[in-house]
Chain A
């Protein structure tokens, strides 16, 4: 490269086009001059024909390896079939098919890069930049076009047309937005959202049953310190919208020593001999609070580490949750099985705007 290709600071005005340099410190009198591009350093392959030949052979070897990889992948596809009765056959199929394809791709890529780096001419070349804004003529030309379009259409002059057009253009997309309303069912079909969130499947007398097999729970079977994952009786995958119902109705039953329980006066009748039932849905963002620490009576939400104290009304002792887990009032029926006294007295799960309305 000769020095005539280089741009010095005075030429920089071309691209910089007289723009303000702001608070940049510029001192053309006292700054170094660009020495220009360094002389090209020849590679081994430029200097020694043997090195060049060796590189060429290396590239060919990579290409051959790539072809071998592709064939190997197809062979692997056939010779390592998946046997529907033997799950372990998935592993060799996945492994050898994948490695064959990977070899084919990698070798092709490495070969191509090797070719470009070792054998193609590596003299740096120069492109000249132009200011990003168009030339004066181009800008004048564009203005002329827009001007002509404006004159010929009367867009600027005919204000009534223009305004009515804008008005129409604003309204036209609205039906498309309104039509999104039915993404959620109508209140007449599914009920008012906030109202739906206030109720669960639990009613007075509903038996507490084990999740997921649905067997009822005798109060006498609940050991002190144990925790039982509970769903309402009759909730099976045959139930309509069973996941929706389950997402609100899951409960955790824990039995503590009666003297360990701290109970609010109005909730004293909600437990049965130290057995308490709390909603399992975290009041933060709704993960199941499924981890029980037996000796501390703490419930831990594995998603965001909200921690609730079962012995003390399941109130929040750590983590981002705001409210205690809602308690399900329970009792026992004639046969000694645990039953609900009623539904929850407050909405379960994460807060929502209408929650306290």
Chain B
């Protein structure tokens, strides 16, 4: 796009010139183009995960809009006379009948349903992986803590959007999902029954839940998601993108390709690739064949019921509880068998949300951080991440405990018991293994900086000794291996002005020891020159 001077004297002649002049005189858009047109974006494959989530959301809005043109969010009972013969003459809700209509009578309707469902799975998956990338590279550090919280909110909203949409067709499988929600709501102490009645408009399942979920699914939650995405991206612009450590990459700059044209070309093209992949999957792979489940009826249920993947950990947590934990206190029933797993899942989520603030408090580092950490260079953080992932994965696996039992011909009770143990042991084991791996990798990095890379060449010295030649690395490679911040634990807590050692400072010292006791610092120039095997040519700086 060409921007023209707004001086009336130089009247543009070409069509594009005239059009941009028209726009310019009514918006002053040139300011924005000049400011943002060459904005620099660093390049790395892991930066595309957030893009995948964003583009999946666009696909969701497009395919979802198509679906609303045909879907009837009503639980009014109808007798089915559509083209799917096995259900002919059955009584069902208008919602279920219209979903069958979309699937079997609207050309491209089934395609849009499947694209929509796959895009939803992709959205939550990409958002989750994006969060992991942010976590393991320390991209949540100042000034991005608030954006981490916004992103976390988006992940939770994504799960809510997914669940409300999943329930809309009013089929047997999703109806059982709502039945579980009803049971979970009723477990909330004191007010549970009322919450369930408010949600379902009376007793389960009632006749209003589909239209209520529809409102949440197509208006309330998407509006919140769009607002949050806006805030998320606005903060990305304000902060400028983080970058991986490397030569020339500092906390004071951002190195990469300009928005116009390279980044626009790549990111714009990538949108169509994501869209194309989702449509290809939607045309090739069946998902959620609601006609096979039948309309909702509180009586039947099929074996091996599975929620969509992102609800799995919640469902799995419910399955891992041992029997008989419920108590009656002053006449009120407390269903710990539901409250405790909800609490555990909640604790995992909350600890994810507040992690940046905890780490900032432990390090006391108030500086801005724009250069990412390689995960190995923050061993304790990486280990904590691995532990949380393990806890999440065990709960997730538990949601498929029955399928594991039938597929691998083992006892379902045994699978459950193993997972119960793993839920507590797994994260601890994952923590220590990950931390050791990180420290090992850091040692290897030091080794490479100090001694170079093993070349595989064996030479015999005059004395008869055989040695392997180590090739020194160049200064760019070396910089990649030494440019990271290392933290040292607080060895002694000092009294404050009142002469007291506060609980907070003790706590902080203890945490700092936990985080940084095992620590490997980057190689210093003095170590290179002090008697270690000397790389042959030290590039001068």
Using a CB–CB distance below 8 Å, which chain A residues touch chain B?
1, 5-7, 11-12, 14-16, 19-25, 27, 30-38, 77, 81-82, 84-87, 90, 93-99, 101-117, 120-122, 124-129, 131-132, 180, 183-185, 190, 193-194, 196-197, 211-212, 229, 231, 237, 241, 243-244, 246-248, 250, 280-281, 284-288, 290-291, 302-307, 316-323, 349-357
Residue from B107, B254, B486 with most neighbouring chain A CB atoms (10 Å): B107
Using a CB–CB distance below 8 Å, which chain B residues touch chain A?
38-40, 77, 82-85, 91, 103-108, 110-111, 114-115, 143, 176, 179-180, 182-184, 186-194, 196-207, 238-240, 247-248, 250-258, 261-262, 265-266, 268-277, 279-280, 282-284, 296-305, 315, 318-326, 328, 331-335, 337-338, 341, 363-368, 370, 401-402, 412-413, 416, 475-476, 478-479, 482-483, 485-490, 512, 516, 521-526, 539, 541
A31-B482, A116-B269, A127-B240 known; 8 new pairs, CB 8 Å cut-off, are: A23-B487, A36-B247, A87-B83, A113-B265, A184-B201, A320-B338, A351-B187, A353-B192
Nearest CB on B from A91, distance (A) = 9
Residue from A6, A14, A305, A352 with most neighbouring chain B CB atoms (10 Å): A352
Select from chain B the residue with minimum beta-carbon distance to A99. B283
Whether A322 touches B337, Cβ cut-off 8 Å, given contacts A98-B284, A250-B299, is: yes
Whether A16 touches B363, Cβ cut-off 8 Å, given contacts A77-B108, A352-B186, is: no
Select from chain A the residue with minimum beta-carbon distance to B327. A322
Q: Would you call B198 and A105 a contact (CB within 8 A)?
A: no
Nearest CB on B from A312, distance (A) = 14
Nearest CB on A from B32, distance (A) = 16
Whether A322 touches B326, Cβ cut-off 8 Å, given contacts A82-B105, A285-B338, is: yes
Whether A35 touches B187, Cβ cut-off 8 Å, given contacts A303-B180, A322-B325, is: no
Q: Would you call B363 and A22 a contact (CB within 8 A)?
A: yes
- The interface residues of chain B lying within 8 Å CB-to-CB of A98 are 111, 115, 279-280, 282-284
- Selected from B192, B255, B257, the residue in CB contact (under 8 A) with A37 is B255
- Selected from A34, A96, A211, A302, the residue in CB contact (under 8 A) with B299 is A211
Residue from A6, A96, A320 with most neighbouring chain B CB atoms (10 Å): A320
Q: Would you call A112 and B272 a contact (CB within 8 A)?
A: yes
- Selected from B111, B196, B305, B341, the residue in CB contact (under 8 A) with A94 is B111
- The interface residues of chain B lying within 8 Å CB-to-CB of A247 are 179, 203-205, 298
Q: Would you call A126 and B255 a contact (CB within 8 A)?
A: yes
- What are 28 A-B residue pairs whose CB atoms fall within 8 Å in the complex? A20-B367, A22-B364, A22-B365, A23-B512, A84-B83, A87-B83, A90-B104, A94-B114, A106-B273, A109-B272, A109-B274, A120-B265, A122-B257, A125-B38, A126-B254, A183-B198, A196-B202, A212-B299, A237-B91, A304-B315, A305-B319, A305-B401, A322-B326, A350-B335, A351-B186, A353-B189, A353-B190, A353-B193
Q: Would you call B110 and A94 a contact (CB within 8 A)?
A: yes
- The interface residues of chain A lying within 8 Å CB-to-CB of B114 are 94
Q: Would you call B183 and A286 a contact (CB within 8 A)?
A: yes
CA distance A60 to B172 in the complex (A): 49
Whether A246 touches B298, Cβ cut-off 8 Å, given contacts A24-B485, A98-B111, A109-B272, is: yes
Residue from A1, A111, A288 with most neighbouring chain B CB atoms (10 Å): A288
Whether A352 touches B275, Cβ cut-off 8 Å, given contacts A35-B479, A93-B107, A246-B297, is: no
- The interface residues of chain A lying within 8 Å CB-to-CB of B320 are 320
- The interface residues of chain B lying within 8 Å CB-to-CB of A81 are 107
- The interface residues of chain B lying within 8 Å CB-to-CB of A246 are 297-299
- The interface residues of chain A lying within 8 Å CB-to-CB of B541 are 32-33, 35
Q: Would you call B198 and A128 a contact (CB within 8 A)?
A: no
Whether A22 touches B487, Cβ cut-off 8 Å, given contacts A125-B258, A288-B299, is: yes
- Selected from A35, A102, A117, A241, the residue in CB contact (under 8 A) with B279 is A102
Whether A190 touches B300, Cβ cut-off 8 Å, given contacts A35-B476, A285-B318, A350-B182, is: no
CA distance A27 to B524 in the complex (A): 9
Q: Would you call A97 and B111 a contact (CB within 8 A)?
A: yes
CA distance A22 to B202 in the complex (A): 56
- Selected from A34, A132, A194, A305, the residue in CB contact (under 8 A) with B193 is A194
Q: Would you call B280 and A184 a contact (CB within 8 A)?
A: no
- Selected from B251, B305, B521, the residue in CB contact (under 8 A) with A303 is B305
Residue from A246, A247, A248, A285 with most neighbouring chain B CB atoms (10 Å): A285
Q: Would you call A184 and B319 a contact (CB within 8 A)?
A: no
CA distance A232 to B22 in the complex (A): 74
- The interface residues of chain B lying within 8 Å CB-to-CB of A25 are 485-488, 521
Residue from A111, A117, A196, A303 with most neighbouring chain B CB atoms (10 Å): A303
- The interface residues of chain A lying within 8 Å CB-to-CB of B328 are 356
Q: Would you call B186 and A24 a contact (CB within 8 A)?
A: no
Q: Would you call B85 and A87 a contact (CB within 8 A)?
A: yes
Nearest CB on B from A110, distance (A) = 6
Q: Would you call B240 and A243 a contact (CB within 8 A)?
A: no
CA distance A335 to B204 in the complex (A): 35
Whether A20 touches B335, Cβ cut-off 8 Å, given contacts A82-B105, A99-B283, is: no
Residue from A95, A99, A197, A322 with most neighbouring chain B CB atoms (10 Å): A322
- The interface residues of chain A lying within 8 Å CB-to-CB of B319 are 304-305, 319-320
- Selected from B239, B251, B326, the residue in CB contact (under 8 A) with A351 is B326
Residue from B199, B284, B341, B401 with most neighbouring chain A CB atoms (10 Å): B284
Q: Would you call B323 and A287 a contact (CB within 8 A)?
A: no
- The interface residues of chain B lying within 8 Å CB-to-CB of A357 are 331-332
CA distance A113 to B51 in the complex (A): 14
CA distance A107 to B366 in the complex (A): 47
Q: Would you call A109 and B39 a contact (CB within 8 A)?
A: no
Q: Would you call A303 and B301 a contact (CB within 8 A)?
A: yes
- The interface residues of chain A lying within 8 Å CB-to-CB of B488 are 23, 25
CA distance A80 to B419 in the complex (A): 49
- Selected from A112, A211, A212, the residue in CB contact (under 8 A) with B268 is A112
CA distance A116 to B367 in the complex (A): 35
CA distance A306 to B388 in the complex (A): 27
Q: Would you call A7 and B363 a contact (CB within 8 A)?
A: no
CA distance A15 to B272 in the complex (A): 37
Nearest CB on B from A270, distance (A) = 22
- The interface residues of chain A lying within 8 Å CB-to-CB of B182 are 285-286, 350
CA distance A302 to B105 in the complex (A): 33
Whether A97 touches B108, Cβ cut-off 8 Å, given contacts A35-B476, A180-B198, is: yes
Q: Would you call A185 and B322 a contact (CB within 8 A)?
A: no
- The interface residues of chain A lying within 8 Å CB-to-CB of B315 are 303-304
Q: Would you call B367 and A16 a contact (CB within 8 A)?
A: yes
Nearest CB on B from A318, distance (A) = 6
- The interface residues of chain A lying within 8 Å CB-to-CB of B268 are 112
Nearest CB on B from A66, distance (A) = 8
Whether A37 touches B143, Cβ cut-off 8 Å, given contacts A32-B482, A108-B269, is: no
